[in-house]
Structure 1
């Protein structure tokens, strides 16, 4: 695969000028098991990055550290120039509600809520009134081609429909960064391609950057840049042509 920048390996990597989000020289262990051993990754505004690696390589741990879900043992995570892990828990939680969006492998929609209520949930948690929140949520469901299912609950949906709703929920707040952890892992290839096409198009339309963890090269083909995680370290393969 042809690239336009030279490979960059951590530790010792520096964030690029204008980086929106940057994790530098990250280390994380779970008991005696080292998950990250000097991983670095930075994200420019609007960039879609595929984080590749074998199972157990540390790619999901890297995403969780960048998203403020898992505290690294060493290293730094900066978001818009602020140290993510120097923030209070409340400030970091607010950041995840307003500036970050999340799409997980199995959607993780609230089973008791309708699709419309699930999509509006981040807005409601931020204090928005129900009617405008649901109107905004409905617009996103329309963009993701599932507005006709707005009154259904997650148990009544196919996997692909649920993932499209999860993407709508991730983007409804207008986040700067969307973290997607194996978003097509539970789907067949046809539905996986459809979900990735919708995710990449919707993110680009909204201006959100995407950090996408996957082991599927077909999914990674939607990215602007590939970063490979191996034994807890990163290799930046550069911008794709």
Structure 2
């Protein structure tokens, strides 16, 4: 899937942590609404690539653009604002706030952007229903299963209407049945909302949900050009 102006474009990214290179010329283009799976062995640089694309980590060299706007030259405050409003995040262990209820966790991105509590929690309840975890609303993260927690995390990632969702091993801590359910609901909700998804995984069953697969090896990328 290609467009004249990609949503995200990374060109020739290099990133090292001390003497250890994580990226050594990685490139990637993501179209609006596309689901891209980033695969590779442990230590290949796939999570570093994801963090660079999301504006969490700055590359040492190379260029990243989002909707034609340079992320590599943006200030920290500009990147922070972008992550709050245009990007959504889902990680392996959900990273839900343990002191908050699941409803409050999902509403949190809206609250941080200034939405009033009642309106934010009403939208959060809608997203919990959409991800089939409405019954967790009053519970805290420690009171629900891992699969439920990842669906709550997916609701939180999507509630702001992001243009891009970055998911780092979202099913890595789940059994196959719960992993399948999370992926089905995440991909369906993302496609319905028009969000692109960049998904880091080592699981070929998870990658099968993607429109395209990118393999990262030794800090470099290879597009498998897989279309489903």
Question: After TM superposition, is the score higher than 0.5?
Answer: yes
CA-to-aligned-CA distance 1:71-129 (integer Å, 9 cap, x gap): 10000110011101211111110100010000000000000000000000000000111
Q: Distance in 2 between matches of 1:136 and 1:41?
A: 33
Q: Distance in 2 between matches of 1:54 and 1:123?
A: 36
Partner of 1:48: 35
Q: Distance in 2 between matches of 1:30 and 1:16?
A: 33
CA contact (8 A) 1:16 1:42 kept: no
Stretches of 4+ aligned residues off by more than 2 angstroms: 15-18
Partner of 2:227: 240
Q: Distance in 1 between matches of 2:145 and 2:210?
A: 26
Q: Distance in 1 between matches of 2:25 and 2:221?
A: 8
Q: Distance in 2 between matches of 1:239 and 1:50?
A: 10
- SS of the counterpart of 2:224? strand
Matched, 1:75 2:62: yes
Matched, 1:118 2:105: yes
Partner of 1:207: 194
Shift of 1:16: 5.7
CA contact (8 A) 1:28 1:35 kept: yes
Residues 161-180 of structure 1 mapped to structure 2, 5 A cutoff: 161-180=148-167
CA-to-aligned-CA distance 1:115-149 (integer Å, 9 cap, x gap): 00000000000011100000111100000011111
Q: Distance in 2 between matches of 1:33 and 1:180?
A: 24
Q: Distance in 2 between matches of 1:163 and 1:170?
A: 10
Partner of 2:96: 109
Partner of 2:119: 132
Shift of 1:239: 3.4
CA-to-aligned-CA distance 1:153-188 (integer Å, 9 cap, x gap): 000010000000000000000000000000000000
Q: Distance in 2 between matches of 1:64 and 1:32?
A: 19
TM-score, normalised relative to structure 1: 0.93
Single out whichever of 231-240 and 214-223 deviates more from structure 2: 231-240
Matched, 1:222 2:188: no
What is the number of equivalent residue pairs in this alignment?
A: 228
Structure 1: segments with no counterpart, 5+ residues:
6-14
Shift of 1:238: 0.9
How big is the alpha-carbon RMSD for the aligned residues of Structure 1 and Structure 2?
Answer: 1.1
Q: Distance in 1 between matches of 2:189 and 2:213?
A: 20
Matched, 1:186 2:173: yes
Matched, 1:93 2:80: yes
TM-score, normalised relative to structure 2: 0.98
Structure 2: segments with no counterpart, 5+ residues:
none
